[in-house]
Structure 1
Amino acid sequence: MVNFANIINGKDQVVILVDAATIPYFEGKVPSNILIKAKMEDIWIRDFSSVIPARQIKFKFAPGYHKHSDAREIENRFKNWISQNQLQYDKTSSIILDGGNVVDNPSGIRAIVTDRILRDNPSFTKESVKASLIQSLGVNEVAIIKELPDDTTGHADGMVMWATDDRILFMTETEPIRSEVINELKNSFPNVEVIEVPNYYVHETWRGFTSARNVYVNSIVTDDYIYMPIFNNPHDTEMLCLFQSLTNKTVVPISAENICIMGGSTRCLSWQIKGSNKLKILQAAVQ
């Protein structure tokens, strides 16, 4: 996390949420004005925070892979911190949906989720939940792709990313899921290019969670940069060059070798915010 933050700092504005136990580890290793003391129940802040950086839409965090009591504690701890810092969402929704299962394009007009949303919200049909998401997210188009059958969380950000506003990178899969995903993306986004990239995924598990090793698409995409996870293997250079050839943003490698076994990577560890909430958080870091 130290290297992660130091690499981003100076390119994009960044803060680190730390608790009393971990703050000594960061002191002296990162600028003091990027540390905010906050007690969170989980490191994967992407999943229980709001989505769409410019609009901040908050869905209900109650995934099937967590005990209800654990999910409630994670959700409540985050809500309390939001309230304490006087942050506000543009909109809230009762739909159960992790932030890691919302992959929005840079301008925030298109979004991709997996059909895990239908398992978590069984009262919806695919078409009805798609219509609800378009309204809640404030986007023009939504794709609901097949989730990977062996993925614990069923998140879209382990399958796809946006290299530009109108170009999707899809980590290729075996049939029939490959064709099902590509067809859904092309039908939902008729003016978007879908590019398949190599799949070097390594299947591992840790405490019941499938790993994120070699999931290069779990990248953070900002206005000018793509922070791509690397895993200290021979594929890193190939994928870095490939991603750079497919975007007008600068691709920056971030080591995720040690964290990926736990089921997440760079995008999972981050929360992207714009507008008034961003200003309040930056001010809190200075205090």
Structure 2
Amino acid sequence: MDVARWLCLGLFLAGCEMAGDAVDMSAGPELIILAAPIAGDPYYADVYADIVEFQIEFGRRIISAGDDVIILSDETAAPAFIEALGPSHVAVYPVEDIWARDFGTSNAASPVFFRYTAAGQGSGPGGQADADAVQSAAIELADQAGLTAAFGRLLNDGGNYVDDYAGSVVISRKFLRDNDLGESEARRLIRERTGARQIAFIEADEQGGLEHADGVLAFIGPGTLIVNAYPDDPDYAAALRADLESGLPGVSIHEVPTPYDASAVYDDRFGSACGLYTNALVTPNRVYLPQFGVAEDADVVNQVQTLTDREVIPVPSSGVCHLGGGVRCMSWQLRGENAARLAAHLRNRP
């Protein structure tokens, strides 16, 4: 990697853009990148097998549905992934964390690397350095593959950038605090970096920690949002709807049942994603919807299917949701020529 590009990538200077030819952003099979846990990582030791099992089943469903998946793995887990999914869906390229959504690019059609925040690594001393180190693997991989993406110094996790690929974006107000911005200036900067046209800032439903918008809502199509139901907090529900209607005029908002379960939180810095159907992975033709082994699962699948012309794919997630994420949080999405370049690079590595 040359020095100028390293400065661009490493320092996240505003206005930097990764070199590369123009990218064809036409819709096709989405490439989903999953990052497997590294064997021996003490943080994930107790749930290592659960994560691998989830990623294998998720990978199967992605392939069966018609999208593409490659799992970045170390040499220890690679044989299990290869046996289950085939060698073309596994690359020995270990990264230091599993939450690829947060340190990868936001928006598969007009990709941008925000600077992964310290909160994603639990904050604390050296938190931003840890976050930068985790993200550097994704940035270097993108550079090696010749991807085209924009960069900026703005701090944000991919889980806090929820958009419909038609110009509408939702971000929690943690973004404003992290970057010391007012809403007007933040909207201007986000529009410049991403091409978004209308942006809603919301309060996260749990203050502190990650405060990601994708734990609250999801676009399941252009101008169509599903949001968590908050029957025990009507004031928050009303404020959320007011923020969305103000920032996203014309967007259709639909509540879905939210059987939230925080009884088995793995790390109390991050909360639980159990019962959050809004943490769905949405591709041009499909909605991969988490399922939790509860009575509401089938009803929400049916409800979401009535609201979108995309195929709804249920994905069992009860084994990992207590970690604070799952279907969307683990998925780095790429599309068009960027997807083709990265897939070719990973599949042609020695």
With the shorter chain as reference, the TM-score category is: over 0.9
Equivalent residue for 2:94, pick from 10, 27, 39: 39
Contact 1:213 1:257 in 2 (8 A): yes
User: Residue 49 of structure 2 aligns with which residue?
Assistant: none
User: Residue 3 of structure 1 aligns with which residue?
Assistant: 57
User: Residue 85 of structure 1 aligns with which residue?
Assistant: 145
CA displacement at 1:245 relative to structure 2: 1.4
SS of residue in 1 equivalent to 2:83? coil
Equivalent residue for 2:163, pick from 87, 104, 107: 104
Contact 1:151 1:210 in 2 (8 A): no
Can you list the C-alpha shifts for 1:161-205, whole angstroms capped at 9, x where unaligned? 112201111102213221111111111121111111222111242
TM-score, structure 2 length as denominator?
Answer: 0.78
Equivalent residue for 2:262, pick from 189, 203, 206: 203
Is 1:252 aligned to residue 313 of structure 2?
Answer: yes
**Number of aligned residues:** 284
Contact 1:220 1:266 in 2 (8 A): yes
Equivalent residues in 2 for 1:126-137, closer than 5 Å? 126-137=183-194
User: Residue 213 of structure 1 aligns with which residue?
Assistant: 274
Equivalent residue for 1:183, pick from 231, 242, 246: 242
SS of residue in 2 equivalent to 1:9? helix
CA displacement at 1:114 relative to structure 2: 0.6
Equivalent-residue separation in structure 2 for 1:142 and 1:116 (angstroms): 14
Equivalent-residue separation in structure 2 for 1:278 and 1:69 (angstroms): 28
Equivalent residue for 2:225, pick from 142, 152, 168: 168
Counting aligned pairs with the same residue, the percent is: 25
CA displacement at 1:226 relative to structure 2: 0.3
Q: Over the residues paired in the alignment, what is the CA RMSD in angstroms?
A: 1.5
User: Residue 110 of structure 2 aligns with which residue?
Assistant: 55
Can you list the C-alpha shifts for 1:17-70, whole angstroms capped at 9, x where unaligned? 112222122121112111122121110000001111111111111233432232
Change (3 A) 1:151 1:164: farther
CA displacement at 1:152 relative to structure 2: 2.8
Structure with higher helix content? 2
User: Residue 35 of structure 2 aligns with which residue?
Assistant: none
Equivalent-residue separation in structure 2 for 1:263 and 1:213 (angstroms): 8
Equivalent-residue separation in structure 2 for 1:108 and 1:58 (angstroms): 19
Higher relative contact order structure (alpha carbons within 8 Å, sequence separation ≥ 6): 2
TM-score, structure 1 length as denominator?
Answer: 0.94
Equivalent-residue separation in structure 2 for 1:199 and 1:271 (angstroms): 25
SS of residue in 2 equivalent to 1:216? coil
Equivalent residue for 2:294, pick from 214, 225, 233: 233
Equivalent-residue separation in structure 2 for 1:286 and 1:95 (angstroms): 32
CA displacement at 1:285 relative to structure 2: 4.0
CA displacement at 1:238 relative to structure 2: 1.4
Contact 2:117 2:128 in 1 (8 A): yes
User: Residue 72 of structure 1 aligns with which residue?
Assistant: 132
Is 1:24 aligned to residue 79 of structure 2?
Answer: yes
Gaps of 5+ in 2: 1-54
SS of residue in 2 equivalent to 1:148? coil
Read off the aligned partner of 2:221 and give its amino acid letter.
T
Equivalent-residue separation in structure 1 for 2:166 and 2:76 (angstroms): 36
Q: Relative to structure 2, which stretch is displaced further, 78-87 or 21-30?
A: 78-87
CA displacement at 1:86 relative to structure 2: 2.8
CA displacement at 1:85 relative to structure 2: 2.7
Equivalent-residue separation in structure 1 for 2:117 and 2:284 (angstroms): 30
Change (3 A) 1:151 1:167: farther
Gaps of 5+ in 1: none
Equivalent-residue separation in structure 1 for 2:172 and 2:288 (angstroms): 22
Equivalent-residue separation in structure 1 for 2:220 and 2:322 (angstroms): 25
Read off the aligned partner of 2:238 and give its amino acid letter.
S
Large movers: runs of 4+ above 6 Å: none
User: Residue 205 of structure 2 aligns with which residue?
Assistant: 148
